[in-house]
Amino acid sequence: MNELARAAQTYLDTRRALGFRLRGEGQLLAQFVAFMDKAGLSVITTDAALAWATGPVDVDPYWWGSRLAVVRTFASWLVAFDPHTQVPAADLLRYRSHRAEPYPYTDADIAALMTAAATITHPLRAATYQTLIGLLSVTGMRVGEAIKLDRTDLDAASGALTIRHAKFDKSRELPLHPSTIDALAAYARVRDRTCPHPPTPSLLISIVGTRLIYKNVHHTWLDLARQAGLRPRSSRCRPRIHDLRHRFAIATLLGWYQGDADIPARLPQLSTYLGHVSPASTYWYLHGAPELLALAAQRLEAHQGGSR
């Protein structure tokens, strides 16, 4: 291990000891150190950092800025130990992030995805992806949360599913509809019949009984979306698996608006169910659906009319 690699490891260990996970940042920093080693460079310079950050082609320029930010943060720490280190300027690659536009999945889209999953040759893999799609659709949980579920996290008797150590290291309990419990029980029968002794306690498993890997789930999702006939609406609106979470939130809010519920009072419940830090994060979903904005405007207009 060269000096720069040792410094990078010390930097990561120090920040992780303070509570930062740095999973993505750690991977990027390791790639940067490897780039420097291959180029025969031992001191961080602005030119080297810029060359590495802008290396990927055909990507959003915002990604370049994100990569450079990882090096800049490390360099800001390292310069205290090695004064020859150059810290790239904060405005060197200033690009604004463009948040993806949520894909507006319909009930027909979900049915088409489930049908596509049913065509997967291996019965366990087909059942796993049908169950995953259904579970994401009716709970709004994150993909990573579904992958991390163990069998013991499902309490069929009480009809609840426990999400443990999710984003921000928060855990929560999700009440499930009886039909969802039945679907999970049906999946368990297929899983236990086709793979009776899996090497992992995971609720959802691969054909060899291991826990699902996000990268593989993502690739399979893209294949299923194509088979289901789902096409991008624009460069910023593509059928992403994460948008099933958005669909759940929108459907919940629409139901509450149509049922004349007290939205400000109910929103913290949805925020907790989704695992958001605060309702402010959940409010973003209001901006992602024109029908929600219309209902909110109608309610505001009725309120203002009644107060005159």
What is the secondary structure of 269-288 as a DSSP string?
HHHHHHT-SSHHHHHGGGGG
Q: Is 74 within the bounds of a domain?
A: yes
pLDDT of residue 191: 97
Cβ-based neighbour number of residue 300 at 10 Å:
10
* CATH number (domain holding residue 186): 1.10.443.10
The residue among 167, 192, 227 that closes a domain is 227
Cβ-based neighbour number of residue 217 at 10 Å:
20
The residue among 195, 227, 259 that closes a domain is 227
Residue owning tokens 């029908």: 291
For the chain, the domain total comes to 3
How many helices (H) and strands (E) are present in the chain, helices listed first? 13, 3
- The whole-number average pLDDT for the span 218-232 is 95
Query: Where residue 297 falls among pLDDT bands split at 50, 70, 90?
Result: low
Of the candidates 167, 218, 231, 233, the residue annotated as catalytic is: 167
pLDDT of residue 5: 93
Q: Confirm whether 167 is a catalytic residue.
A: yes
Q: Confirm whether 285 is a catalytic residue.
A: yes
Least reliable range by pLDDT among 56-70, 116-130, 184-198, 288-302: 288-302
Please, is 253 exposed, middle or buried when counting C-beta atoms within 10 Å of its C-beta (0-12, 13-18, 19+)? Answer: buried
Please, is 214 exposed, middle or buried when counting C-beta atoms within 10 Å of its C-beta (0-12, 13-18, 19+)? Answer: exposed
Least reliable range by pLDDT among 14-28, 38-52, 112-126, 210-224: 14-28
- The whole-number average pLDDT for the span 43-57 is 93
- The whole-number average pLDDT for the span 233-253 is 86
Q: Which amino acid is at 10?
A: T
303: Cβ contacts below 8 Å, ≥ 6 apart: none
pLDDT of residue 145: 93
Per-residue pLDDT at 59 exceeds 80: no
Beta-bridge partner residues of 115:
none
Residue 299 and residue 261 in contact, taking contact as beta carbons nearer than 8 Å: no
pLDDT of residue 164: 87
Residue 156 and residue 117 in contact, taking contact as beta carbons nearer than 8 Å: no
Q: How far apart are CA 59 and CA 54, in angstroms?
A: 9
- The whole-number average pLDDT for the span 106-124 is 96
Of the spans 1-10, 48-57, 114-123, which averages the highest pLDDT? 114-123
Q: Are residues 63 and 119 in the same domain?
A: no
Q: Is 233 within the bounds of a domain?
A: no
Beta-bridge partner residues of 162:
173
Residue 204 and residue 147 in contact, taking contact as beta carbons nearer than 8 Å: yes
Residue 233 and residue 109 in contact, taking contact as beta carbons nearer than 8 Å: no
- The whole-number average pLDDT for the span 104-128 is 96
Of the candidates 15, 242, 257, 266, the residue annotated as catalytic is: 242
Q: Is 204 within the bounds of a domain?
A: yes
pLDDT of residue 272: 82
Q: Confirm whether 148 is a catalytic residue.
A: no
The residue among 163, 197, 227 that closes a domain is 227
pLDDT of residue 46: 94
Residue 82 DSSP code: -
Query: Where residue 220 falls among pLDDT bands split at 50, 70, 90?
Result: very high
Q: Are residues 186 and 117 in the same domain?
A: yes
Per-residue pLDDT at 269 exceeds 60: yes
Cβ-based neighbour number of residue 45 at 10 Å:
15
Of the candidates 72, 148, 245, 247, the residue annotated as catalytic is: 245
Determine the structural domain holding residue 279 and report its residue range.
243-306
Q: Confirm whether 142 is a catalytic residue.
A: yes
Q: Are residues 115 and 210 in the same domain?
A: yes
Per-residue pLDDT at 130 exceeds 60: yes
Least reliable range by pLDDT among 25-34, 180-189, 271-280: 271-280
pLDDT of residue 214: 92
Q: Confirm whether 242 is a catalytic residue.
A: yes
Q: Is 118 within the bounds of a domain?
A: yes
Q: Distance of alpha carbon 92 from its chain centroid, rounded?
A: 28
What is the chain's length? Answer: 308
pLDDT of residue 244: 93
| Whole-number percent of the chain with pLDDT over 90 | 60
Of the candidates 148, 191, 240, 276, the residue annotated as catalytic is: 276
Of the candidates 142, 148, 191, 247, the residue annotated as catalytic is: 142
Of the spans 196-200, 279-283, 298-302, which averages the highest pLDDT? 196-200
Cβ-based neighbour number of residue 208 at 10 Å:
10
Residue owning tokens 């030119």: 47
Q: Is 101 within the bounds of a domain?
A: no
pLDDT of residue 9: 94
| Whole-number percent of the chain with pLDDT over 70 | 86
pTM of the predicted protein model: 0.67
Q: How far apart are CA 91 and CA 87, in angstroms?
A: 12
Q: Is 69 within the bounds of a domain?
A: yes
pLDDT of residue 303: 53
Q: Is 89 within the bounds of a domain?
A: no
